[in-house]
Amino acid sequence: MNNYARIARVIGYLEANCDGQPGLEELAGVVGLSASRFHRLFVAWAGVTPKEFLKCLTVADAKRRLRMGDAVLEAAIDSGLSGPGRLHDLCVSLEAASPGEIKSGGAGIEVRFGFADSPFGRCLIAGCERGLCWIEFTGAGEASALSDHWFGAVLVRDDQYARELGARVFGGEVARSGLRGLVRGSRFQVQVWRALLRIPEGQLSSYGGLAEAIGRPRAARAVGTAVGGNPLAYLIPCHRVIRATGVIGDYRWGTDRKRAMIAREGCGR
């Protein structure tokens, strides 16, 4: 079991047993580690102790963040700001592929891809001269989803390139500054993905709130479909969208992974 799998298992256990306030020894036993080793691992991953982490996992907290996220998202889309006096993830720019590139699957474009480790498990990362074009979490060493999406491109394996990009993608807002993305999608999909970039780290929105924020209040279902089609996992933060009830909901790369992302960001990492 790798460290991400251990953390995901503990998060699931905490969420199911948070009322009992499980202690360090109990949590360490869930993943078969000594209390001291587990404590070091958890603090290294989350930046806080397991006890402090419990605050990020309650339904009340999720609902509170949802309300904050909706309000902040609307303001962010109007002004480009995420909070008092600072620009947000607009440091990540998103370019849409041309109709010709979409039709041809990127014919003539060289795409370098490789595998890298992240705080949320192994991932496949790909990019070209114009920016990142694919990020997905994977447990197997296959590039099938990438080759289906960019079927006309020339694919070149380069794991070092992927590791370097991964260090930026998962390294925080400062590390992500200046990253560019190249995406294949409809005008509506790209509009939704750009709106997702405006949800501040540590905040959440609902599908309905996202639909209202882009001026399509009756299109919550279509927004949900566009969110699910996100080609740049984590970089375009579709994990920051939950159901209006506060329930985490489904996630393309697994609900446990989505829960881990929300909790980690909620703790300021």
In a domain, 105, yes or no: yes
In a domain, 127, yes or no: yes
Residues 128 and 107 in one domain: yes
158/2 Cα distance (integer angstroms) = 23
Residues 79 and 34 in one domain: no
Contact 241/196 with Cβ under 8 angstroms? yes
Residues 48 and 170 in one domain: no
Residues 104 and 11 in one domain: no
CA distances from 265 to 2, 45, 114, 223 (A): 21, 11, 26, 23
Query: Is residue 34 pLDDT above 70, yes or no?
Result: yes
Residues 70 and 137 in one domain: yes
pLDDT in tens, 224-253: 999 999 999 999 999 999 877 666 777 888
In terms of Cβ atoms closer than 10 Å to its own Cβ (0-12, 13-18, 19+), residue 237 is buried
Residues 70 and 28 in one domain: no
Query: Whole-model pTM above 0.85?
Result: no
**Among residues 18, 40, 56, which one ends one of the domains?**
56
Which active-site residues does the annotation give? 238
- What pairs with residue 89 in β-bridges? none
Provide the pLDDT confidence category of residue 72 given band limits of 50, 70 and 90.
low
**Among residues 37, 56, 75, which one ends one of the domains?**
56
Among 39-53, 64-78, 84-98, top mean pLDDT goes to 39-53
* Residue carrying structure tokens 């000594």: 34
The contacts of residue 238 (CB under 8 Å, 6+ apart) are 196, 227, 228, 230, 251, 252
How many structural domains is the chain composed of? 2
The CATH number of residue 231's host domain is: 1.10.10.10
Query: Is residue 113 pLDDT above 70, yes or no?
Result: yes
Main-chain phi, psi angles of 113, to 5 degrees? -140, 160
- Owning domain of residue 128: 59-250
H or E element that contains 207: helix 207-213
What single letter denotes the amino acid at residue 240?
A: R
Residues 31 and 76 in one domain: no
Question: How far from each other are the two terminal CA atoms of the chain, in whole angstroms?
Answer: 23
What 3-state class would DSSP assign to 171? Answer: coil
Residues 148 and 215 in one domain: yes
Residues 152 and 38 in one domain: no
Residue 183 has a CB neighbour count (10 Å cut-off) of 23
Residues 15 and 33 in one domain: yes
Average pLDDT along the chain:
82
